[in-house]
Amino acid sequence: MRTKEAVFLGFFTCCLVHVIAITPFFATPHPDKSFYFVPKLCKSFNFGPNSTCATTNVPGCVCYASGTCSYTTTGNECTHCRTSNNVSFNPNESCPNLGNKKITLCSDARPTSCPPPPKDQKVCECDDKGSCQYVPDDICNACLKKNIVSIIDADCSILQR
Protein backbone atom coordinates (compact mmCIF):
# COMPACT_ATOMS: atom_id res chain seq x y z
CA MET A 1 0.00 0.00 0.00
CA ARG A 2 2.87 2.35 0.75
CA THR A 3 4.38 1.75 -2.69
CA LYS A 4 1.17 2.74 -4.49
CA GLU A 5 0.90 5.90 -2.41
CA ALA A 6 4.54 6.78 -3.11
CA VAL A 7 4.10 6.20 -6.85
CA PHE A 8 0.92 8.29 -6.91
CA LEU A 9 2.52 11.07 -4.87
CA GLY A 10 5.60 11.06 -7.14
CA PHE A 11 3.42 11.16 -10.27
CA PHE A 12 1.25 13.95 -8.86
CA THR A 13 4.30 16.01 -7.85
CA CYS A 14 5.87 15.54 -11.27
CA CYS A 15 2.67 16.71 -13.03
CA LEU A 16 2.33 19.68 -10.71
CA VAL A 17 5.91 20.78 -11.36
CA HIS A 18 5.35 20.60 -15.13
CA VAL A 19 2.12 22.62 -14.93
CA ILE A 20 3.80 25.30 -12.82
CA ALA A 21 6.78 25.40 -15.18
CA ILE A 22 4.79 25.91 -18.39
CA THR A 23 1.94 28.09 -17.09
CA PRO A 24 3.81 31.41 -17.43
CA PHE A 25 4.31 30.77 -21.15
CA PHE A 26 0.58 30.56 -21.70
CA ALA A 27 -0.72 33.00 -19.12
CA THR A 28 1.31 36.08 -20.04
CA PRO A 29 1.93 37.72 -23.40
CA HIS A 30 5.38 38.05 -24.91
CA PRO A 31 7.18 40.82 -22.98
CA ASP A 32 7.42 43.05 -26.07
CA LYS A 33 3.83 42.48 -27.13
CA SER A 34 0.44 43.44 -25.81
CA PHE A 35 -2.91 41.88 -26.61
CA TYR A 36 -3.63 44.91 -28.80
CA PHE A 37 -2.00 46.57 -31.79
CA VAL A 38 -0.59 49.82 -30.43
CA PRO A 39 1.32 51.92 -32.98
CA LYS A 40 4.96 52.65 -32.18
CA LEU A 41 5.28 56.36 -32.86
CA CYS A 42 8.14 57.38 -35.13
CA LYS A 43 9.45 59.81 -32.53
CA SER A 44 10.27 56.83 -30.28
CA PHE A 45 13.00 55.66 -32.66
CA ASN A 46 15.10 58.80 -32.04
CA PHE A 47 16.87 59.07 -35.38
CA GLY A 48 19.46 61.83 -35.39
CA PRO A 49 19.09 64.60 -37.99
CA ASN A 50 22.28 63.57 -39.82
CA SER A 51 22.03 59.79 -39.44
CA THR A 52 21.73 57.69 -42.58
CA CYS A 53 19.19 54.92 -42.91
CA ALA A 54 20.32 51.32 -43.27
CA THR A 55 19.42 49.53 -46.48
CA THR A 56 17.97 46.50 -44.73
CA ASN A 57 14.32 45.58 -45.15
CA VAL A 58 12.22 44.99 -42.04
CA PRO A 59 8.59 43.98 -42.64
CA GLY A 60 5.97 45.68 -40.53
CA CYS A 61 2.95 47.91 -40.20
CA VAL A 62 3.17 51.57 -41.18
CA CYS A 63 0.44 53.95 -40.01
CA TYR A 64 -0.12 57.27 -41.72
CA ALA A 65 -1.38 60.70 -40.66
CA SER A 66 -4.60 59.88 -42.57
CA GLY A 67 -5.48 57.24 -39.92
CA THR A 68 -4.89 54.26 -42.20
CA CYS A 69 -2.22 51.57 -41.84
CA SER A 70 -0.61 49.17 -44.30
CA TYR A 71 1.75 46.23 -44.10
CA THR A 72 5.03 46.55 -45.98
CA THR A 73 8.00 44.29 -46.59
CA THR A 74 10.38 46.96 -47.87
CA GLY A 75 12.18 49.66 -45.89
CA ASN A 76 12.79 49.83 -42.14
CA GLU A 77 12.10 52.01 -39.11
CA CYS A 78 14.38 54.77 -40.36
CA THR A 79 13.16 54.91 -43.96
CA HIS A 80 9.48 54.76 -42.99
CA CYS A 81 9.72 57.31 -40.19
CA ARG A 82 11.60 59.78 -42.37
CA THR A 83 8.82 59.76 -44.95
CA SER A 84 6.29 62.55 -44.54
CA ASN A 85 2.81 61.49 -43.46
CA ASN A 86 4.15 58.26 -41.89
CA VAL A 87 3.60 58.55 -38.15
CA SER A 88 4.34 55.07 -36.84
CA PHE A 89 6.09 51.85 -37.70
CA ASN A 90 5.71 48.52 -35.90
CA PRO A 91 8.50 46.23 -37.07
CA ASN A 92 7.65 42.55 -37.61
CA GLU A 93 3.96 43.11 -36.90
CA SER A 94 0.92 42.82 -39.13
CA CYS A 95 -1.65 45.61 -39.26
CA PRO A 96 -5.10 45.31 -37.71
CA ASN A 97 -8.11 45.17 -40.00
CA LEU A 98 -9.59 48.59 -39.27
CA GLY A 99 -12.36 48.32 -41.84
CA ASN A 100 -13.59 51.85 -42.49
CA LYS A 101 -12.33 53.13 -39.10
CA LYS A 102 -9.37 55.50 -38.74
CA ILE A 103 -6.77 55.29 -36.00
CA THR A 104 -5.65 58.57 -34.43
CA LEU A 105 -2.09 58.75 -33.17
CA CYS A 106 -1.31 61.21 -30.39
CA SER A 107 2.02 62.86 -31.05
CA ASP A 108 3.79 65.90 -29.65
CA ALA A 109 1.21 68.06 -31.45
CA ARG A 110 -1.47 67.20 -28.88
CA PRO A 111 -4.40 69.55 -28.41
CA THR A 112 -4.16 71.92 -25.47
CA SER A 113 -7.89 72.03 -24.74
CA CYS A 114 -11.04 70.33 -25.97
CA PRO A 115 -14.76 70.76 -25.46
CA PRO A 116 -16.34 68.17 -23.15
CA PRO A 117 -16.94 64.87 -24.93
CA PRO A 118 -20.51 63.95 -25.89
CA LYS A 119 -22.11 61.91 -23.11
CA ASP A 120 -22.89 58.92 -25.31
CA GLN A 121 -19.57 58.67 -27.14
CA LYS A 122 -17.00 55.96 -26.42
CA VAL A 123 -13.56 55.37 -27.90
CA CYS A 124 -10.78 52.84 -27.54
CA GLU A 125 -7.76 54.50 -25.89
CA CYS A 126 -4.39 52.72 -26.02
CA ASP A 127 -1.52 53.74 -23.77
CA ASP A 128 2.24 53.57 -24.05
CA LYS A 129 2.31 50.29 -22.08
CA GLY A 130 0.16 48.43 -24.62
CA SER A 131 -3.10 48.49 -22.70
CA CYS A 132 -6.33 49.52 -24.43
CA GLN A 133 -9.67 50.44 -22.86
CA TYR A 134 -13.07 51.25 -24.35
CA VAL A 135 -14.12 54.32 -22.35
CA PRO A 136 -16.54 57.24 -22.48
CA ASP A 137 -14.46 59.91 -24.23
CA ASP A 138 -13.74 61.45 -27.60
CA ILE A 139 -10.58 61.60 -29.69
CA CYS A 140 -9.62 65.16 -28.70
CA ASN A 141 -9.96 64.62 -24.95
CA ALA A 142 -8.27 61.22 -25.10
CA CYS A 143 -5.20 62.77 -26.75
CA LEU A 144 -4.99 65.25 -23.86
CA LYS A 145 -3.96 62.36 -21.62
CA LYS A 146 -0.17 62.15 -21.48
CA ASN A 147 0.25 58.36 -21.71
CA ILE A 148 -2.32 57.78 -24.49
CA VAL A 149 -0.65 56.84 -27.79
CA SER A 150 -3.59 56.03 -30.04
CA ILE A 151 -7.37 56.25 -30.20
CA ILE A 152 -9.94 54.65 -32.44
CA ASP A 153 -13.64 55.39 -32.55
CA ALA A 154 -14.55 51.72 -32.12
CA ASP A 155 -14.51 48.90 -29.59
CA CYS A 156 -10.99 47.78 -28.68
CA SER A 157 -11.62 44.32 -30.12
CA ILE A 158 -10.80 45.79 -33.55
CA LEU A 159 -7.19 46.13 -32.34
CA GLN A 160 -6.83 42.67 -30.76
CA ARG A 161 -4.07 40.49 -32.16
pLDDT along the chain (161 residues), means of 10: 48 37 36 77 76 90 94 93 88 95 84 87 94 94 92 95 85
Task: Decide if 81 is inside a domain.
Answer: yes
Q: Pairing state of beta strands 86-91 and 60-64?
A: antiparallel
pLDDT of residue 16: 35
Q: Which domain holds residue 146?
A: 42-46+55-159
Task: Decide if 14 is inside a domain.
Answer: no
pLDDT of residue 23: 32
Task: Decide if 104 is inside a domain.
Answer: yes
Number of domains into which the chain is organized = 1
Task: Decide if 70 is inside a domain.
Answer: yes
pLDDT of residue 51: 75
Task: Decide if 114 is inside a domain.
Answer: yes
Cα angle: 55, vertex 61, 65; to 5 degrees? 100
Q: If you compute the radius of gyration of the chain from its CA atoms, what whole number of angstroms results?
A: 22
Q: What is the pLDDT of residues 95-106, one digit of tens each?
A: 999 999 999 998
